[in-house]
Amino acid sequence: MNFKTTIVLLVALAVVGGVFWYSQLGEKKTPEQASEQATAGGGQKLLDLQSDQVTGFTLTDSDGNHTTVERSGAAWRMTEPVSAAAVDWQTQDLIRTLCDLRSQGRPASAPSDAGLDKPRYRVALSTSDGKTARIVIGNKNFTGDLMFAQVNDGEVNLIDSSLAKTLKTAADDLRDKHLLTANSLEVQQIRIITATGRLVLNKTGSKWKIVEPVEMPGDSEAISSLISTITGTEASEFVKPDSDDLAFARFDRPSAQMWLSTEAPPTRPTTEPAALPSGGQTLTIGAPDSLTKDHYFVRTSDGLVAKIAGSSLDNLKKTPLDLRDKDVVTILPEDVKGISLVKETWPAPATQNANAVIQRAPAVVLARRPKESPKPFGPTLPANLKSGARPTTAPAATAPATQPAQSLWIFAAPADKAQPADDSKVDALLGQFNPLHADKYLEKNPNSPPQQRYLVSLETKMQRYHVEFVRPSNGQSAYGIYDDLEFEIPTALLDALDADFHRTGP
């Protein structure tokens, strides 16, 4: 083959390619159509319809599967393939995409493989005026970037093929993944049953109370967060009622059961059965779907079966101490009449041995200054007037114009007895107990080697409170011990205990 023949063949190939391209994309446009194609989006709008006019749509794929979503009041609801809530924003986004479909070209004639006789998707949009708009979507063209489409049996157009991916997953994407419908703000009862025990929480007024395993005040913020986690649990995958996978769900021996109710708890104590009460909404967590435990089977009280991510369980595992009120005890400063503070210091860990001596600082003992006896009404009479003598004309000694204000607190220990204390530092200390707030409750004593230990006693008219605080030497969080509770504390509390309570100013 010589050079001249090669040139002829290349020219012929270019002509054939041009003809084929024109047959696919060539569009006989009038000047008006050319103007319309210059609009935003790059092409002529195929539907004379606004998204807010749409009240519902049905999507049918090539296998005959239907996805139907309808407007229900201000929300959207899926009616096929199941009856379930739809995700409003995703539904509206898809409707806007369909209503804004634009032509990316119009072939002179639809090729035989356009797929419009056996379309990949059929979409029927219902409008508020009772009309229906139909879209038939066929195959992709030879480049794969465009698809053949036909609106209301009209002319064949090419549209962006990215729409196919959206329509393929619409049945899953548009369905609301939330498993429970309870309003988290209205929940007043919670029951959680696991292999390790049973947790019962009741709300009275605005206060939460832990009823089981033992009674204790609940932390409203922590419990509200738990409720939001339960009601916000989403399915990673829905399981069909006839799925073979259900044989491995183990709902007869669940990992956990969670029950929520918006009804007020009973006013009188009741002996509840081990099973969960009737009414309300239940989420039963079964077995993992694989050895990796990435997902777990779940079932709702209305029979819905799905899978959730294994990581979702981490936020649902709460102990009573996780949900207990973080205010350990509240001691009003005005009720305190005496304070005792003892500080012990351990040698550095590198120097500790069996004979190490713990240094104990002198105890700081503070008491409220006794109230002075009331003075007699009116000026004090001189002694000579009390005996009936005539008053002298000599001027009386003038008292100092101002005197240092007496402190409210004094030292009560023998060494500093009656010495004034710095009221501001005492107030800062007492403020740490109004209330004494825990950062986190501990299941057991950290058993960390101590650097300092503080033994604090606060005496009121009614009782004496004893609290112990420890600053570990290994850099771990400081913690406190009160009654049977052990809890982490902020370091600001230890700073208040380290203060020098002696008064330095006037």
Is there a contact between 118 and 62 (Cβ–Cβ < 8 Å)? yes
Q: What is the pLDDT of residues 303-317, one digit of tens each?
A: 899 999 998 888 888
> Which range, of 138-142, 159-163, 396-400, averages the lowest pLDDT?
396-400
- 279 backbone dihedrals φ, ψ, rounded to 5°: 75, 180
What's the pLDDT at 43? 84
Query: Which pLDDT band, with edges at 50, 70 and 90, does 331 fall under?
Result: very high
> Which range, of 134-138, 185-189, 277-281, 370-374, averages the lowest pLDDT?
370-374
Residue with tokens 């708890």: 265
First to last CA, the chain: 115
In the three-class reduction of DSSP (H, G, I as helix; E, B as strand; rest coil), residue 139 is classed as strand
Query: Which pLDDT band, with edges at 50, 70 and 90, does 323 fall under?
Result: very high
The token pair that represents 398 in the structure block: 């003038």
The mean pLDDT of 122-145, rounded to a whole number, is 91
The token pair that represents 328 in the structure block: 């350990």
What's the pLDDT at 413? 83
Find all residues with CB under 8 Å of 180, minimum gap 6, and list them.
230, 231, 233, 260, 281, 283, 300
What's the pLDDT at 228? 94
Is there a contact between 126 and 116 (Cβ–Cβ < 8 Å)? no
Give the containing element (helix H, strand E) for 19.
helix 3-25
Neighbours of 25 (CB within 10 A): 16
- Would you say residue 427 has pLDDT above 70? yes
Residue with tokens 């005197």: 403
What's the pLDDT at 26? 46
- Would you say residue 8 has pLDDT above 90? no
**Stated length of the chain:** 506
What's the pLDDT at 30? 42
- Comparing C-alpha atoms, which of 408, 424, 330 is closest to residue 367? 408
In the chain, % of residues over pLDDT 90: 60
Please give the model's pTM, rounded to 2 decimal places.
Answer: 0.72
Residue 467: exposed, middle, or buried by beta-carbon count in 10 A (0-12, 13-18, 19+)?
buried
- Distance separating alpha carbons of residues 98 and 135, to the nearest angstrom: 9
The mean pLDDT of 461-481, rounded to a whole number, is 93
Q: State how far Cα 299 lies from the chain centre.
A: 22
- 352 backbone dihedrals φ, ψ, rounded to 5°: -75, 140
